[in-house]
A and B are shown apart, each in its own frame.
Chain A
Amino acid sequence: MSALLNVEDLRVAFVNEKDSYRAVDGLSFDVNPGEIVAMVGESGSGKSVTAMTILGLTRGPGVGISGRILFDGLDLVTAGEAVLQRLRGAEIAIVFQDPLAALNPVQRIGTQIIEQIRAHERISQKAARARAVECLERVGIPSAHERLSAYPHEFSGGMRQRVMIAMALSCSPRLLIADEPTTGLDVTVQAQILAELDDLRAEMGLGVLLVTHDLGVVADIADRVVVMYAGRAVERAPLDAVFDDPQHPYTWGLLGSIPRTDTPRLERLATIPGQPPLPSELPKGCTFAPRCPHRFARCAEAPLLESRLADADHSDRCWLSPEDKRVLRNTGTGIGLLGELAATQ
């Protein structure tokens, strides 16, 4: 089964007279048909930029993009605008955060969905309308027929996001990119939306690239996880592997910072000390080293993303040996950044 989407060494830099902001600095990952790949990281890690670059939405003066993004054998980095336009919305669709801002506030949602359909397929207004109704029903919006003439602000947050998803899927794309689709929504609504996405994925055989900062969301539906830090993937693994056997200290930090109900309440929530580096000042060597309590001499050399375990699917970007990692990551009752290395630095 060949990959639906193949990102190879993607680099995206925003350049002005003074500096160059390397938002994405050598990212590689795949998405296969029918699977959900979650891209996790803090704000500024380059996840959204990656999502938008796949669709060519970051192109412009002052933006340097290199690497390859292969979709169906076509390199999206070098593809012409006309080609990308045909793909957008039809083969690759994207759902954004904040649907209230992402939908045109003065147009009825029916109009917006139909516009997308008719931009890619030659069907009549009536047929497009019927399809729009179907799309809304598929995502679980009641009275879809009447709701077509509603405006975005007339929906609740969760419903609006469903509308966005419906619109994105209206032309049966093969790849869906979801950029923080549940951020800002109530927890219960989040769960519903994720469940919908999962169902749709199964129904339609979609490949989904889910961009999020929320590990809880990841745990819910992802099949594979790409952990991003400072524009690079620092860990890439199937879901279970990431939660059971995480290899990179940053991942430990992320996991350790999830509040748990079974730890004593009086403990402070664990955080990763420090701040992510500015995209204009990326450290040489391992980009996480400045914040990593386990750094040692070798970290001055930039680690490669490779699999150091038996499982070839699980790669990480850390020089520590798997044994050391196992020791360091366990902190009493859970996974976190603090552990003691018996061996010396």
Chain B
Amino acid sequence: MIAFAFRRMFGSALVLAAVSVLTFLIFEAIPNGDPALRMAGQNATPDTIAAIRRAWGFDHPIWRQYLTMMRKIFDGSVISYSDQANVVQQIRRGLPATISLAIGAMVLLALISVTVGTISAARAGRVTDRILTVGSLVGFSTPPYVVGALILYIFGYSLHILPTAGYVGITAHPWAWFTHLLLPWIALAIPVSGASARILRASLLENIHEDFVRTAKAKGLSRTRVMIRHVLRTSLIPLVSLWGLDFAALLGGGAILIETIFNLHGVGQYAAGSVQALDVPPILVITMYGAFAVVVFSALVDILYAVLDPRIRLTTG
């Protein structure tokens, strides 16, 4: 088990290195013109451009540029030339919102998918199942920002039940934190739960016919116990690893659009703003961090999977 974990983490380290190289290549090596110009953003003076060229080492060989970039990112000294703000500091300021958003959305996602998936499977083929199936289909076909805009309109502006924008820190005011995040959580959870619920349903229906479920019944366990402790538990395992990856994607800025609609000022919104202003340095750093998050979580999720399903430990990481 420990050996498996180490192997996996080591593999991840390699991927992280590769990710940093690829990100570097995207931002500084695409044949598209002058990277300094791009990085300077709009309204840049020739002086700024020259300064950028020096600071990032664009005159140097490409491997040195890479090292310079890595150093700047990990030093926390990347500066956006559009607004002179320190990128890493801005990111840190937006993290609490983004993390709150991600965690809450995942919890809600788990609850919805398990409920919908289990009910669907239990009533497979009947009306309830069909309705839920169509619902899931519509769910995962609707982008989160559409759901967000819709519920924002209904609950925020029409009914005035929930606040329409902004983020409040949990330590400052727990209830406000909750009400401000509720709509964004729902907006993010619904589309992903559509897909998750379908997968869980398929997994449950498959596992119900497995031999070990028959054994569980033959042991004299109640139907509920058989369903939950045997069928559901085994069916959830693949889902848990998916959820881990979804969480990583959320953290890495996948919730960009939701943060924008709800004005949460998280990392995602920072990315969105930078995109609109074509401000490259923040996007560079966020992309790097986003990919890192996914790689790390990917490894964690694999390890978690191995904890839950011991058969996996026999294969290499």
A and B held together in a complex: yes
Interface residues of A (CB under 8 A from B): 55, 57, 85-90, 93-94, 96, 98, 101-106, 115-116, 119-120, 151, 153, 164, 167
A88 and B214 within 8 A (CB): no
Closest partner residue, chain B, to A113 (CB atom): B219
Q: Closest approach, in angstroms, between the C-beta of A183 and any C-beta of chain B?
A: 13
Give the interface size bracket for B toward A: 20 to 34
B310 and A87 within 8 A (CB): no
B310 and A106 within 8 A (CB): yes
Chain B residues near A105 (CB-CB < 8 A):
212, 234, 309-311
Chain A residues near B218 (CB-CB < 8 A):
55, 57, 88-89, 93-94, 96
Closest partner residue, chain A, to B218 (CB atom): A94
Name the contact of B230 in the complex, choosing from A87, A89, A104, A167 (C-beta under 8 A).
Answer: A104
Complex-state Cα separation, A151 to B234, whole angstroms = 14
Complex-state Cα separation, A166 to B158, whole angstroms = 65
Complex-state Cα separation, A104 to B211, whole angstroms = 9
Chain A residues near B219 (CB-CB < 8 A):
88-89, 115-116, 119, 167
Complex-state Cα separation, A190 to B16, whole angstroms = 52
Question: How many inter-chain residue pairs (CB < 8 Å) link A and B?
Answer: 70
B211 and A101 within 8 A (CB): yes
B220 and A96 within 8 A (CB): no
A87 and B234 within 8 A (CB): no
B219-258 interface with A by 8 A CB criterion = 219-222, 225, 229-230, 233-234, 237
- Given A104-B234, A105-B212, decide whether A85 and B309 contact each other with a Cβ distance below 8 A: no
Chain B residues near A164 (CB-CB < 8 A):
215
B220 and A88 within 8 A (CB): yes
Name the contact of A89 in the complex, choosing from B220, B233, B308, B311 (C-beta under 8 A).
Answer: B220
Chain B residues near A55 (CB-CB < 8 A):
218
The answer to the question of B37 belonging to the interface, with a C-beta cut-off of 8 Å to chain A, is no
B216 and A104 within 8 A (CB): yes
Per-residue CB contact flags for chain B residues 199-218 toward chain A (1 = under 8 Å, else 0) read 00000000000111011111
B233 and A106 within 8 A (CB): yes
Chain A residues near B234 (CB-CB < 8 A):
104-106
Name the contact of B212 in the complex, choosing from A89, A102, A116, A151 (C-beta under 8 A).
Answer: A102
A103 and B220 within 8 A (CB): no
Closest partner residue, chain B, to A116 (CB atom): B219
Closest partner residue, chain A, to B309 (CB atom): A106
Chain B residues near A86 (CB-CB < 8 A):
220
B311 and A119 within 8 A (CB): no
Chain B residues near A88 (CB-CB < 8 A):
217-220
Name the contact of A120 in the complex, choosing from B220, B225, B230, B314 (C-beta under 8 A).
Answer: B220
Complex-state Cα separation, A98 to B215, whole angstroms = 11
Complex-state Cα separation, A98 to B211, whole angstroms = 9
Chain B residues near A94 (CB-CB < 8 A):
218
